[in-house]
Amino acid sequence: MAVAHLPAARPYIGRLAAGRALAGAALLAAVAALPWLSGSDPARTVLRARSADQDPTPAQLAVVREQLGLDQGPWVHLAHWLGGLPRGDAGVSWVSGAPVMPQVGTALSVSLTLMLGALVVTALVAALVCARTVFLGSRRRLRQDRTGTTAAVLAALPKFLLASVLATVCGVWWGWFPSSGWAGPQSMVLPSLALGIPSGAMLGGLLDQALPAAFHEPWARTAYAVGLPPGNIARNALRRTLPGMLPQLLPTVVALVGGAVAVEKIFNIPGLGRLALESAVAQDLPVLQTATLALVLLGVSAGILIRALRHALLGRPLRDGALPALHRPPLVPPRSLRWITAACAVALLALVTAGLLRDPLQVDTAARLVSPSLEHPLGTDALGRDLLARLGHGALRTAGVALAVTVVSAVTGLLLGMAPRASAGPTEVASTLPAVLTGLLIAGVTGPSVWGAAIAVCVVGWSPYAAQTAALLEQERASGHIAASVALGAGRLHLLRRHLLPAVLPALLRNALLRLPTAVLVLASLGFLGLGEQPPTPEWGRLLSENQPYAELAPWTVLGPAAALVVLSVLAVTGSALGHKKGE
């Protein structure tokens, strides 16, 4: 049997390798052109990075251009850099003049260590989120559905805000762990928690929604009837559902390395994400290219390992097309579902209505950082502006842009995931690219704007949905009822409409709703760097970024936007669950 699959497998593996190579080459070419796409003088940017207080003269700029060979264009630089890689030579930094490879190697080792710690926290949090479903399902006592509020609340926590709270409380006030620097195993505890808790909640929420279908399969009922231990049933249910969730680990793993810029800044960690961002801002091309290559290689390696692990877990049924389809059983919705949905909707409506009646731009320097009162129910910010007014006026814009980004990313991921042989390589490479770096590339072409930031998020935001779609479709196509439908003469359109899309869309929708707050925060991070929404626009994510330095002195400045973001996330999750129940 194995020999029969080899001829089909080799072209598939070849297409995967070609897709990875082409996507990686396109990314490196775009990065190489960044100084020329930005519209600013690369020599001026580099010279200012070398000496921030220096006002460059035309003569000094000419010397830098000649020294760096900027007149030769990006492709000569790219070819020279690629030519040195086989010898282990990635050039020298344009800013510091130090060799690039040791810098990137040190930063990568720090980020990988932090990633391992964050993955441990991610696994623990995911296990806690779905522990109730595993316990009841393995004992055939799973009757009531979950609201998903716990996973939604934890997944909506801003990582940089969580990092600030942990650093202040556990690091400064209580002195349990170091609040800054990278000096040993203790230094990775707090940043691992800040990165792992939201990621674990997201993955745990997806797994928690998939497990009831596994416990409803005939083998689970038979195993319980013959008296197999609950632990055995739980392990097999996890083995059955983990392959559909494992592709979500790819963007999570890479985000813990390249996308942890804010957390690395708060804890002063010399990681790869921080190095890539600083080199991109300074247009330090050799460092940026090498850091990007390291992220691409990490993403491709993680993608290969995850694909191998999925196939090992599914085993022979996947290869033989005998994999049972997962069908979620009808569960009784919790009584609190309607109440939670209604409470969140009323809270957001009241927030928006009350905020719209106030002026979000009025500055009162005499009322800076005033605590909540009757005059200012949510307090004021560092400029004395009313936070309730800013939250209310920013609600529609925040939710609208984030929803548009999420919809575009999910639809794009769905379409690309339906052609896995062509999109697998680009999906792995796109997962490696931090949205901040994409924002720099897009802003270089279009200029800083909210829609430029939205495009930047969409460029990388489709990869989790494409990976999930490809994994679920692979499992669904290997099920027996698909083979039976084909034998009865079903066409591609019928299979797509009746079998494939119904198996993918519910899980994809759940993933999109859990990632909705992430879209808000990524857009905020781009705006904070001057690449997206510009001040004084009262956008929720920007409010979090602007007020984060005052979190210890005036915690209400960040609690209001964070609470609003959590309520929006819970409303999205519970509202979709309520709509799904009505549809049934």
Dihedral angle, C-alpha 24, 27, 33, 39, nearest 10 °? 180
The three-class DSSP label of residue 143 is coil
Pairwise CA distance, residues 330 & 561, whole Å: 36
Kindly list the distances between the CA atom of residue 493 and the CA atoms of 289, 486, 501, 582, in Å, as whole numbers in the listed order.
Answer: 44, 11, 10, 27
Q: From CA 466, how far away is CA 285, in angstroms rounded? A: 30
Q: What is the mean pLDDT of the chain?
A: 81
Tokens 């497998």 correspond to: 9
Which token pair is 445? 């072409």
Helices 501-528 and 159-166, packing angle to 10 deg: 60
93: which 2 tokens?
């930094």
Question: In the chain, what is the greatest distance between 2 CA atoms, to the nearest angstrom?
Answer: 85
pLDDT by residue (tens digit) across 515-529? 887 787 777 767 666
- Residue 4 has what pLDDT? 38
Model pTM score: 0.84
- Alpha-carbon distance of 376 to 370, in angstroms, equals 8
13-48 per-position pLDDT tens digit: 667 777 777 877 887 887 777 777 666 667 777 777
- pLDDT grade for 124, boundaries at 50, 70 and 90: very high
Q: Is the pLDDT score of 1 beyond 50?
A: no
Measured CA to CA, the distance from residue 107 to residue 317 in angstroms comes to: 42
Higher-pLDDT residue of 256, 507: 507
Task: Quick: pLDDT tens for 517-572.
Answer: 778 777 776 766 666 667 777 878 778 878 878 887 888 888 888 888 888 888 88
Structure confidence at residue 229 as a pLDDT band (50, 70, 90): very high
Q: What is the pLDDT of residue 491?
A: 73
pLDDT at res. 6: 36
Is-contact 373 347, C-beta < 8 A? no
Q: Which residues contact 110 (CB under 8 A, 6 or more apart)?
A: 182, 269, 270, 271, 272
DSSP-assigned letters across all residues of 271-313: -HHHHHHHHHHTT-HHHHHHHHHHHHHHHHHHHHHHHHHHHHH
- Segment 142-149 mean pLDDT: 80
Q: Is the pLDDT of residue 3 over 50?
A: no
Please report, for residues 3, 150, 247, 513, the alpha-carbon distance to residue 566 in angstroms, rounded to integers and kept in the order given: 52, 10, 25, 12
**DSSP one-letter code for 334:** P
Residues 414/469, Cβ–Cβ less than 8 Å: yes
Neighbours of 513 (CB within 10 A): 23
Q: Which of 56-60, 131-135, 245-249, 441-445 has the lowest mean pLDDT?
A: 441-445
pLDDT bracket for residue 346 (50, 70, 90): very high
pLDDT higher than 90, residue 155:
no
pLDDT tens profile 288-330: 889 888 888 887 888 888 888 888 888 777 776 667 767 777 7
- Residue 571 three-state SS: helix
| Residue 582, pLDDT above cutoff 60 | no
Kindly state the average pLDDT of the residues 57-67. 77
442 or 554, greater pLDDT: 554
- Tell me: the pLDDT tens digits for 82-105? 888 888 888 888 888 889 999 999
Amino acid 134: pLDDT: 93
Highest mean pLDDT among 271-285, 357-371, 429-443: 357-371
